[in-house]
Amino acid sequence: MVAAREQLAARGCSVLVITQAQPKWLAHYAERTNWGVPLTCDPERRAYAAFGLERAKWRTFFNPRVLWGYLRAMFRGYRVRAPYAGEDLLQLGGDFGLARDRRVVLARPSADPTDRSPVSDLLAALPSSEPMREERATDGGAR
């Protein structure tokens, strides 16, 4: 996550994570992880709905492409865990790039539970921009 965050920062892009957990579960999760970006929650999934993110159907999990996606992820170290209480296992995620005025410049809603764009694709889809101020200061480009 650190490498991805730095690559995004070099393009002037910060990161916000939205989850569907209750705040107490988010606090519990945040204690044992270090994403280095703001973690927020939306337990009623209003933001998920506003961004048009759908729920998968149960049969999606038996789609060979999805099964293969989970297997590949598990080979890379991903561990399947039960969701926290109140989280909807069928809720799909997605990635959206917003300009400062909240204009959408990138929209990648997930088509299935294993469908996430690699950071390289997200970077390629971002409009060109200046690096974030902190990034400029650390890469020797500060005047």
- Binding to another protein (CB under 8 A): which residues in 76-105? 81-84, 87-89, 91-105
Least distance (Å) between residue 78 CB and another protein: 11
Residue 32-61 contact track with another protein, rule CB under 8 A, x = bound:
------xxxxxx--xxx-xxxx--------
Q: Does 70 bind another protein (CB under 8 A)?
A: no
Measured from the CB of residue 54, what is the shortest distance to another protein in angstroms? 11
Question: What long-range pairs does 89-93 form, CB within 8 A, spacing at least 24?
Answer: 90/55, 90/56, 90/57, 90/58, 91/20, 91/45, 91/48, 91/53, 91/55, 91/56, 92/53, 92/54, 92/55, 92/56, 93/53
Q: How far is the CB of 103 from another protein (least distance, A)?
A: 6
Query: Does the CA dihedral 55-33-1-73 come out positive or negative?
Result: negative
What are the structure tokens assigned to 106, written together? Answer: 């990138």
End-to-end CA gap in the chain: 29
Binding site for another protein (CB under 8 A): 8, 11-21, 23, 25-27, 29-30, 38-43, 46-48, 50-53, 81-84, 87-89, 91-107, 109-110, 113, 122, 126-127, 129-130, 132
